[in-house]
Every structure is written in structure tokens, then in C-alpha cells.
A and B are shown apart, each in its own frame.
Chain A
Amino acid sequence: MSAENSTSKETPNPAADGSELIRFDGVMKRFGSNVVLDHLDFTVSSGKHVTLIGPSGSGKTTILRLLMTLLKPDEGTIKVGGEYLTHEERNGKLVPAGETHIREVRKNIGMVFQQFNLFPNMGVLRNITEAPVHVLGLSKDEAEERARELVELVGLTEHLDKYPSQLSGGQQQRVAIARALAMRPQVLLLDEVTSALDPELVAGVLDVLRDIAHTTDITMLVVTHEMNFARDISDDVLMFDAGRVIESGSPEKMFSDPEHERTREFLSAVL
């Protein structure tokens, strides 16, 4: 049993019941004249682990960044848990959402970055407790208790008092995972979280993520080049090309018998 579930005192994380959690509707994103997402539609059910694959530049990172509100869509809407993420309904009309609304919806989403992005001026413990205290309003004690459990989950108990610069990349990334989970998000976004790591440190991080995938009901959107890992944890694999989903299916089907020529080409290049 994971520390993550056994300590749920409050109520966020409504049990994953397979209902629709994420919905992209006609999402369009351009950078200048470069159309990166072209009227993209897709949905993710709660509790599912979905891996996004596709060639470099196909827009995988852009999708995760849109969900994290680090980018805004040029057109279309994104819903999370039935709520519009960057829009609000006012007098029956959809208008761009205010900061308060975005913040509320965004609390359901956590992200782990390729470059970890830990706060270097804070120790491990405070990296993890900072947001639970200042965003969720937990007391310092509650937040620290939660942090300690998560640090144990990611196997770093003896490093609790260190600063990020005193940790290896793999350890830093495991702290970053704990930091994201401390917010008890419904959705965890993972964008190539092992790409910046030395090869010998990759397995440790992937093991932690496998554990989380198998023992919690958190929904995951994963971008990774680790195809074995993707096969282990995914319920669905989405193949992107030129800003659209060109094929999707179970990892078994996608990795052994893809239908689309582009998928075959892509997989033969990475597998």
C-alpha cells in the first residue's frame, strides 16, 4: 500500500471511477506561423495512465504545458474534471478565466519536469512542504508528516535535510516527484523525466514511478522514450504526428502491431 493513499485525510483525489477527467476540444496552438497543435481532440479517463509518443516536435511537451497552464491555447478548450481550465462560463458565454479560477482547477494537476526544477534555495523537506502549506493551507506539521511519507516512498529518507545541489540527478528527480505528489493532484504530468539523467540513475526513478502507477489511482500523462516503462505502466498509448493523434490503443497493440505506417516508422526508430 502506498503512503500516498493511506494518509488521505482530506478529500481531494476523488477515487478514480473511470469517468472523463481530461478533455481537449479543438485545441489549437501555434508559435508564430508554426501550427503545433491542429484542432486536437482527445480525452483521458480518470485513473488511466496514458503515454504520448511521437517524433520530436510533434507537440507532446506542448500538450503537457497547456494542461499545466504554462501555455494558453490559441483556440479550443481544455476541461479537467468537468471544469474549463483556461475559460470560465459567464452569462452562458465562455470567457478567458481569471487567475483565481485557473488556480482552483490547476490544483488538480501536478507536473514533473525533465530538468527537475527543484528550488535550490530550499532543503528537500521544504521543497515538498512549501506548496501544501502555502497553497493547500496545511499546518507545517501536517505538511511535514506528508512530506516524510513521500520521501520514504521515493526512498530518500536519509537525505531529508540536504539541499538539491547535494543530491544526484536521480535523487533530485525523486524529490521532484514527491513534491508534485504532496499536492495530491488527480493528474500527474511527466515530461521525459529521465532524459536528463545519467543512464545508471534512470532505473531508480522509473521504479518509483512504476510503484506509484501500480499502487495509486492517480491519472498519468507520460511522455517518455523508455518504451519498456511505457509498456509496463500504460493503459493507452497515443501516437502524435503533426499536432494530431494519428493512432491510439493498448501498449500491446501499439508496440507489436501498429496500424499506421508513421507509427511503425517511429517505433522501429526508437525500439
Chain B
Amino acid sequence: MAINAVASTHRFPIPRNPMLIRHPMGRSRLRPPGFDDLGLERALSDRLLPFLVAAMAFLAALAFGGFLAAAGLARHWQQGAEAAVTVQVPDPSAVAAGGGVAGTTRLGRVLALLRADPAVARAHALTAAELDALLRPWLGRDSGRLALPLPAVIAVSLARPTATLQRLGKSLREAAPGTLVESHGVWVRRLTVLAQSLQASAAIALLVVTAVAIAVVAVGTHAGLAASREAIEIVHVLGATDDYIAARFAARATRLAVLGGGAGALAALPVLLTLAGLAAPFGRLDTAAAGSGPAAGFPGTALPTLLWLALPLLPLGAAAIGYLTAQVTVRHWLRRLP
């Protein structure tokens, strides 16, 4: 038997020359790639974890997209419509009663009053064509031929904010009874509050998604610890530090999380582009004609720059969550070993 033949020579490899054989103590990290001493390829499966992280990344992308959209809408509404007021004059072509230039129509009287008021920057009575365009979505193409008694509509821009609105309304009603003054400011404030609530909801959704992602990685790591408990105990008794064991788990969890984060971000991209396309007309009411369909040109330009920056950050964020969660979970678990 070979083993005995060697033994009979009394040549043991270990004590051969202890001084020469001593290993260099340098920290040369030359572990062969793929040396999976803890069996993590099976213990920390590449099925469930990346899939769950991908779902979280997908939701995070949508939530962040929603956050930016709500922020954009709030800004737009605040800037655009703060000082806008609509005045409706029923029965506009009837002769105005009371004082002033005799024979003036009710519309003429109201317009004159508005233009004389220092708080009013601009007052423009919508023409029949403009009114027609405004009403077409509700009344159809033939609104002009309908025998409806339409009020005249005056678009007013206030030079100063709406403190003067009540006084203005009162004097207009005296000149032409039945006149309505409607401030857009109220609606803008309501819409702004709505947009801010949407923004807060999106932020909360982001936080919840992050928390769930952390929980998912923690649960996955715990399952991996249980599955490789035997191997961990062996390397522990062979002198592996907590650093060593936690690093193995963290590397695996990071790789799986990056995979999931990347897949989730990629899956979210077409959804976000579609949503951005649908939302584009509302973001540019002042320039494009309302209702002209999705934004023209390269569809990517529809996504806010911040979103383009955030999407590549998703796999990075997932990596950070995977690394830190695995490190903390494993180190905590290892404290049960002496």
C-alpha cells in the first residue's frame, strides 16, 4: 500500500523543515474566484431574492416617478394660474341698466369697469370662436348652433393678488346683475394641496418599499444562515472571523440585489416612458394646444432628468441595502457562536 511505503521512510511533509515551510503571513487575498466555502450558491438562492428585489425596485421607480410628477404639477399650477380670474356676464348684449354711457351693453359696461381698475392687468372677452373651442369638449362641434343662452366669458389677469376680488365682484354685480367672478386661486390652492399630498404619499411609498426590501434581504439572509449553519460552524471553529463570514454573505447578497435592482429598473423604464408621454400635454398647457396627444419628438425627453439619474441609482441602492442588511444580519446571528 502506497501510504505505508511512504510512511516507512519516515518522511513526513509537515515537519520536513518547519522554518522553511512557514507560510508568509501577508494578507494576500488570492482566494480563487467562485470558492464557495459556505455553500451560499445554494443557501442564498438566486431565484427568490433577485425577483423580490426587482419587484421592490420596480415599485420604487414608479413611486419616484409619481413623486416627481406631483412636484411638477404643483409647480406648474402655482406659477400658471395664481392671478387668473374668470368673469361671466349672463345676457351680455342686453343694454345695461342704470347710469353711465347710455346704450352700453352689459358686457361693455363690465369690461370698461375692469379695464379702469388698477388691480386688473388685462381683461379679454373671449370671442365666439374661442368660446366655441372651450365648450366643444362638453357640447360637441355644433355648440354655436345650439340655441343656448351663453354668458360672455372674460379672462382677467390680476396685477395684484386677489385681495381686491370681493370689491371687484361687488361693483361688477351692481353694473350688471348676475355677473360671476371666479378666482382660479382657490382651485390652484386646492390642486396644490392635492399635488403635495400625492408627493407625500409617493415619498412614504418609497420609504415603505425600502423597508420591505431590507426585510426581504434580512429574511433571505436568515434562511441562508439556517441552510449553511453546519458550514458556518465548521469555518468558525477553523478560525474564520465574523468579518470573513459576514463578507461571504454580503458579497452574495449584494450580487443578488444588484441583479434584482437592475431588472426592476429596466422593467420600470417602459412604464415610466408611457406615463410620461400621457402626462406631457398637461405639463405644457401654455405652449402646446391642449389635447394634442403625446409629446412630439424623442420619447425619452418626456422623462424628467432627475428620473434618468434615479434609475441607474436603483441597482446601486439595492446593492447598498443588500450589503448592509447582510452584514448586520450575519454579525448579529454570529454572536450566538463563542
Q: Do chains A and B stick together as partners?
A: no
Taking beta carbons and an 8 Å cutoff, which residues of B are in contact with A?
none
Taking beta carbons and an 8 Å cutoff, which residues of A are in contact with B?
none
